[in-house]
């Protein structure tokens, strides 16, 4: 027993020096590696901002690069302590797989968020219809996106729902076509209707003069003759023009005597002969 104690005392300096060096090296690897991770992420952020990359993409890429480098640094530091990093990586992979199965929905949203950020089907400020909701895009995060409806409701839509559906972006194109369906009575003069609609279109400065104005007889319905009336406007003018032109059509048709019909039923009573 005494011999074992003496042997331990004799070996203690060597053990302390050996493991002390390993601990110092591990700490050095961690400190330097963490500094490298921060510096790399900041450098990446600076470069992306200099190229006017969207802030959402910048933040996501910066955080992802930092944690990827930091993970490699931690594994390298553990290797300096004598930990079998191959086994550690295997355990980490198995744990990641288990977490992945438990968080399938969240990972699906994460993957969809990455795709949204990379492919950019819409940006903040666009009016879109996606994932069963419609509104102005307020925020695009990794797991969900926030829309503000025209009546000022906030809708948070999961990114997987957005990527799994058709995305309609009403703000991408600088110009939009405004379609009107104008019904008049069967007794109305077709040439007069076309002339009045063309005059209404040309009187509005918001309607683009370089684009064709479409006026045509689209349908002879049960109670009316329906004209197709189409004009082009700048995208921000779409709804103001839609409402104003409808009002102008009603006022002008009343003024010139063009009847706008409505469904009605005529009942004829025949008196049977006595």
The residue ranking higher by pLDDT, 77 or 55, is 77
pLDDT tens, position by position, 110-120? 788 888 877 88
> Distance between CA 42 and CA 63 in Å, rounded?
10
Write down the pLDDT at residue 127. 95
Taking domain 175-256, whether its CATH number is 3.30.360.10 is answered by: no
Write down the pLDDT at residue 13. 61
Whether the pLDDT of residue 21 is over 60: the answer is yes
Cross-strand pairs, 62: none
Taking domain 2-102, whether its CATH number is 3.40.50.2300 is answered by: no
Whether the pLDDT of residue 103 is over 70: the answer is no
Helix, strand, or coil here: 125? coil
Asked whether 227 and 184 are in contact (CB, 8 A), the reply is yes
Q: Give pTM, 2 decimals.
A: 0.62
Q: Where in the sequence of the chain do the CATH 3.30.70.100 domains occur?
A: 175-256
For the chain, how many residues are written?
274
At the topology level of CATH, where does 122-169 sit?
SH3 type barrels. (2.30.30)
Strands 127-130 and 175-184, bridge-based pairing: unpaired
Percent of the chain with pLDDT over 70: 80
Average pLDDT over residues 138-145: 84
Tokens of 100: 């992945």
Report the mean per-residue pLDDT for the chain: 83
CB atoms within 10 A of CB 45: 18
Asked whether 22 and 81 are in contact (CB, 8 A), the reply is yes
The residue ranking higher by pLDDT, 129 or 51, is 129
**Which residues have C-beta within 8 Å of that of residue 201, sequence separation ≥ 6?**
207, 213, 229, 231, 245
Whether the pLDDT of residue 99 is over 60: the answer is no
- Give backbone dihedrals phi and psi of 147, rounded to 5 degrees, phi first: -115, 145
- Give backbone dihedrals phi and psi of 48, rounded to 5 degrees, phi first: -70, -40
Question: Residue for token digits 């400190």?
Answer: 31
> Distance between CA 186 and CA 135 in Å, rounded?
40
The residue ranking higher by pLDDT, 219 or 108, is 219
Helix, strand, or coil here: 54? coil
Q: Where in the sequence of the chain do the CATH 1.10.287.1260 domains occur?
A: 2-102
């Amino acid at each position: 027993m005494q011999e074992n104690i003496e042997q331990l005392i004799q070996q203690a300096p060597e053990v302390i020096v050996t493991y002390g060096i390993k601990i110092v090296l591990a700490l050095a690897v961690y400190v330097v590696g963490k500094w490298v991770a921060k510096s790399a992420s900041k450098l990446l952020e600076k470069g992306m901002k200099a190229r006017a990359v969207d802030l959402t993409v910048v933040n996501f890429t910066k955080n992802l690069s930092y944690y990827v480098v930091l993970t490699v640094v931690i594994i390298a530091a553990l290797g300096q302590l004598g930990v079998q990093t191959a086994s550690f990586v295997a355990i980490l992979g198995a744990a990641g797989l288990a977490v992945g199965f438990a968080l399938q929905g969240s990972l699906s949203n994460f993957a969809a968020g990455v795709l949204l950020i990379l492919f950019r089907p819409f940006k903040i400020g666009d009016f879109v219809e996606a994932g069963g909701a419609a509104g102005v895009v307020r925020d695009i995060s990794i797991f969900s996106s926030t829309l503000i409806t025209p009546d000022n409701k906030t809708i948070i839509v999961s990114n997987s729902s957005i990527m799994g559906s058709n995305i309609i972006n009403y703000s991408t194109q600088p110009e939009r076509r405004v379609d009107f369906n104008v019904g008049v009575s069967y007794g109305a003069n077709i040439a007069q209707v076309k002339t009045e609609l063309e005059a209404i279109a040309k009187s509005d400065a918001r309607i683009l003069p370089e684009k064709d104005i479409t006026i045509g007889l689209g349908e002879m319905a049960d109670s009316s003759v329906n004209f197709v009336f189409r004009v082009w406007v700048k995208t921000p003018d779409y709804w103001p023009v839609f409402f104003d032109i409808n009002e102008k059509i009603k006022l002008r048709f009343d003024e010139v005597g063009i009847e706008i019909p409505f469904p009605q039923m005529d009942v004829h009573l025949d008196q049977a002969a006595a």
